[in-house]
Amino acid sequence: MSEPLFDRVAIIGLGLIGGSLAAAMRARGLARTVVAGSRSERTLERGKLLGLIDDGSTDLAEAVKGADLVFLAVPVSSMADTMARMAPGLGNSVIITDGGSVKGKVIAAAKQSIPQHISRFVPGHPIAGKEKSGVDAADAGLYEKHRVILTPTSATDPAASARIRALWTAVGAEVLSMDPDEHDRVLAETSHLPHLLAFSLVDTLARQGDSLDIFRYAAGGFRDFTRIASSDPLMWHDIFRENRDSVLQAVDLFQAGLARFREAVEQGDSESLLAIMTRANSARAHFLALSARTSYTRALSLNDDKVSDKTAMSNSASAGHGRRVEFHLQPGGALNGSLRVPGDKSISHRSIMLGALADGVTEIEGFLEGEDALATLQAFRDMGVVIEGPSAGRVRVHGVGLHGLKAPNGTLYMGNSGTSMRLLMGLLSGQPFSTELTGDESLTRRPMERVAKPLREMGAEIATTGKGTPPVHIRGNRQLKGIHYDLPVASAQVKSAILLAGLYADGETSVTEPAPTRDHTERMLTGFGYPVIRDGATSKVVGGGKLSACNLEVPADISSAAFFLVGASIAPGSELLLRHVGINPTRTGIIDILKLMGADITLENQRDAGGEPVADIRVRSARLKGITIPEELVPLAIDEFPVLFVAAANAEGETILHGAEELRVKESDRIQVMADGLTTLGIENEVYADGIRIRGGQYGGGEVQAHGDHRIAMSFAIASLRATAPILIHDCANVATSFPGFAELASAAGLNLTVVQG
């Protein structure tokens, strides 16, 4: 029981909405006395019998006497008359609120009927209901975890609004505020229009003949779509009349959309049809993700908007927050067979970007359907590009050409993807329209100025926050000019952003890097037919060219393949074929280092995929020996060190690493976290500021912490192949986002892994 918020509450109109508030307040002790005013004695009798009210009156002025809160829950069309009838009984300090579904009309009624109380009138609308109505439908739990929209006007006293907010919060609702006109427009589009369509569809078909027939043959879709036509006709009749203007506008908007759809069907215009439906599909996933506060990936797979709080919780967990996932490993085993690990993330991003800017249709296979690449995909859809899929890694991008992007309707949302934001900053600097880019909480803390600075030198107009972080505003219609830029710090993202802006610049744009970084942008531009001149550490493009669509099989990610390269090397009796792996020389440090340690790795069937070199990699078990890792290989294998440490633990002698201080600021302090785990297993090691020394040898099992770092988790899973006792790894949920399907793939190859979810 809570402290009473009000002394005497008068509910005027004791139906579903009024009765439910009465029930909720009584259940929680929020009012000392609850009374009701109603047209009918019968309703009042039922109210008392059901325990909703202490007393009631058919004289509304009598009912509100002495009340410090009045809640109006009658049809919108009877609000003015009801208010006028209760007015003589209202006290000087009473707070009045309502639950009507249309706000403009209710506010007008209050101005007319209770003008002297207008500052203490707080218009509201609970977004909750049932298909039943009347006092018997009252339900104390109706408002729990539902939204209530308050629409205060300039005349509303903020103190009165605060008390109504406290009331709805106390009955378990989430309270939002909105302008009344905006409320009526938004509700017309999102609630009144769908109800109108459902009533109309059932009526239209029922007029066709035997109305029973439509239900006899109705498929699930028809039932789902028309469920809301079971709602109370009287109430909806009231709403359509009272929100007339906004409802008509929504109907017109819909009719225009329907006409476009009809035209596309009539003309057999499959591209327009696909455009409409893919946009609708992704927009629905987008709002489901937002309303369930779940990840975009998860929302795409949802086929039901009733995302319960339970699902919402587990959804966010699948993005790595909150859910406990452990890996349990039995020692021993070998890895055998042929497998393909998921697609490369960097290449997946660029396949969408370049496909969108190309002339023609680009077919992509092996696209990594992870959060980040999906954010890029959504951004291009928002800029009018028709993209089919992704479905099992297949995507078709209907390119619009270098100058075919359209202004998005709103801010482009990049989720957690720094790559999307930085690369798009370059590309959008050259567009004829302005854009705003934002992202999730963590992305909006990341620095964007090192990209913005060179782009400004090219003539772009870009604004970031005072801290140099997103949101990023990019002014359109700026003619860019080519520059030469010496990168102060090696960064593939900054380099790529400048080169992408260079496609839109006058003349030549060139970038020189202080150390080699990933060159996927340069290679893929070439793959899409756009010449990139490369001369040592400098890459150059000339603006004004064009890209041509191509078919692209995204190479499997060598960083994901790395776990299997090490696993098959250390486990006796292993032979694995890893298919279609990207072997871009800026990424193959892992192969070079393993070969120096004596690994048996061969590259077969080397070929080109959209400008990127790929191969099938065969790896057989071998006796590894410890080495001092050449420092020039360190940047080329930076993400692969956790699993290379496992290789070192299984090598004869010592392996020494220096020059890898960057490992300390990855998803975890990868040097320390790996060292701790290796020590638990019984492997001798010594940590340096910029590296580690590991002495290979026999090791046991134990419990290790992954600290939420996916690569640490997968590395210790691989270590189990040579352990002599079981290994338990904590905090492994993030593996699912970086390497979807790792557990299944590794188990099929021979790892004794069980995933336990807490």
What residue ranges bind ligand NAP (CB under 6 A)? 13-18, 38-40, 43, 73-76, 78, 82, 99-101, 125-126, 129, 133-134, 235, 239
- In our burial notation (b when 16+ CB lie closer than 10 A, e otherwise), range 314-340 reads ebbbbbbeebebbbebebebbbbeebb
Q: Quote the least distance from Cβ 106 to ligand NAP, whole Å.
A: 8
Q: Give the whole-angstrom CA distance, residue 351 versus residue 395.
A: 10
Nearer to ligand NAP (CB atom), residue 140 or residue 723: 140
Longest dimension (CA), the chain: 95
Nearer to ligand NAP (CB atom), residue 129 or residue 418: 129
Q: Is 298 helix (H, G, I), strand (E, B) or coil?
A: helix
Nearer to ligand NAP (CB atom), residue 73 or residue 335: 73
| Position of minimal CB gap to ligand NAP | 15
**Of 455, 452, 567, 439, which Cα lies nearest the Cα of 501?**
455
Is 552 within 8 Å of 579 (Cβ atoms)? Answer: no
Nearer to ligand NAP (CB atom), residue 126 or residue 691: 126
Is 662 within 8 Å of 707 (Cβ atoms)? Answer: no
**R_g of the chain computed on alpha carbons:** 32
> Residue 271: CA atoms inside 13 Å, Cβ hemisphere, count?
10
H or E, element range at 540: strand 538-542
Please enumerate in sequence order all residues whose Cβ is within 8 A of that of 748, keeping only pairs 6 or more positions apart, or say none. 337, 339
Is 415 within 8 Å of 440 (Cβ atoms)? Answer: yes
Q: Quote the least distance from Cβ 291 to ligand NAP, whole Å.
A: 18
Q: Quote the least distance from Cβ 67 to ligand NAP, whole Å.
A: 17
Q: Quote the least distance from Cβ 31 to ligand NAP, whole Å.
A: 18
- The CA-based angle 392-396-399, given to 5 degrees, is 155
Q: Quote the least distance from Cβ 73 to ligand NAP, whole Å.
A: 4
**Which residues, listed in sequence order, are joined to residue 510 by a DSSP beta bridge?**
484, 540
Which amino acid is it at 164? Answer: I
How much of the chain is helix, strand and coil, in % rounded to 5? Answer: 45, 20, 35
- Could you count the other beta carbons within 10 Å of the beta carbon of residue 504? 24
Sort 223 into a burial class: Cβ within 10 Å, 0-12 / 13-18 / 19+: exposed
Q: Is 124 helix (H, G, I), strand (E, B) or coil?
A: strand
CA distances from 616 to 346, 366, 516, 619 (A): 19, 15, 25, 10
> Which backbone phi and psi does 693 adopt, to 5 degrees?
-120, 130
Q: Which of 98, 184, 372, 639 is catalytic?
A: 639
Q: Quote the least distance from Cβ 21 to ligand NAP, whole Å.
A: 10
Q: Give the whole-angstrom CA distance, residue 719 versus residue 566.
A: 9
Nearer to ligand NAP (CB atom), residue 106 or residue 525: 106
- Could you count the other beta carbons within 10 Å of the beta carbon of residue 606? 10
Nearer to ligand NAP (CB atom), residue 124 or residue 393: 124
Q: Quote the least distance from Cβ 125 to ligand NAP, whole Å.
A: 6
Q: Quote the least distance from Cβ 674 to ligand NAP, whole Å.
A: 57
639 is catalytic: yes
Nearer to ligand NAP (CB atom), residue 42 or residue 467: 42
**Of 606, 598, 552, which Cα lies nearest the Cα of 579?**
606
Q: Quote the least distance from Cβ 17 to ligand NAP, whole Å.
A: 3
Q: Quote the least distance from Cβ 366 to ligand NAP, whole Å.
A: 48
Nearer to ligand NAP (CB atom), residue 133 or residue 153: 133
Listed in sequence order, the DSSP H helices in 219-368 are 220-226, 233-242, 244-267, 270-292, 296-301, 309-318, 345-357
- The CA-based angle 103-105-109, given to 5 degrees, is 115
Which amino acid is it at 608? Answer: D
Nearer to ligand NAP (CB atom), residue 22 or residue 593: 22
Nearer to ligand NAP (CB atom), residue 192 or residue 670: 192
- Catalytic site positions: 639
